[in-house]
Amino acid sequence: MIIAIIGPGNMARGIATRALAGGHTVRLVGRSAEQAAALAEELRRAAPGGDGDVRQSDAIAVEDADLVVLAVPYPAGREVVADYGTALTGSVIVDICNPVDFSTFDSLAVPAGTSAAEQIAAEAAPGAPVVKAFNTTFAATLLSGQVAGQPLDVLIAGDDEDAKRSVAELAASGGLRPLDVGPLRRARELEAFQFLHMAAQERLGLNWSSAVKILP
């Protein structure tokens, strides 16, 4: 698949690493073309034996992308999909953000009864389904794809079954375990749960290296 990642930060690095391990093509888009190009070069050097290709690109990267990953903080994802408009039609939009109020780190920044993913879906053009995924994985753990010898779980929520299968394919091909947890409204619980996971890092001494794992 062609994976366009908007926002060349730490989560972009982690998701791109998994995508390249799965043999996918990655296009990195950022406000700073230099930053995106530097990350692309870093990923080319560090690619873990995958057959994928990675390069810096501009906004046109989304027009034929299978998946468009919004690796940007809340609420920038809403602005991105509004700006791109119908250029996203035919692509699956993957929202990975956690809408935490970072001024207090004590609450979510979305009203009760909604989620960042649902807000993004409300802004997206017709034919561009939104899937919530990767928000419960930390950037550093994505580089290896596992914690304590266990593959990372990627919890996936969305209303379009084909879109969720595409995201699951990305995760599985990169050595992760995709788990479909239901419709897009389940993003409310995913965002709230990851807020707890984030808030517990210092208290539990986890150093942002822990993972959410569902065991049978």
Q: What pLDDT score was predicted for residue 46? A: 86
Hey, is 5 helix, strand or coil?
strand
CB atoms within 10 A of CB 127: 10
Mean pLDDT of 129-148: 98
CB contact burial 66-89 (16+ within 10 A = b; e otherwise): bbbbbbbbbbebbebbeebeebbe
- Give the tokens for residue 53: 């290709």
What's residue 31's pLDDT?
Answer: 86
Residues 6+ apart with CB under 8 A from 186: 132, 157
pTM value is 0.96
pLDDT greater than 60 at residue 51: no
**The pLDDT of residue 50:** 53
**Closest to 79 (Cα-Cα) out of 34, 111, 114, 116:** 116
The pLDDT of 5-13, averaged and rounded, is 96
What is the pLDDT, as a whole number, of residue 34? Answer: 92
Residue 99 has pLDDT above 80, yes or no: yes
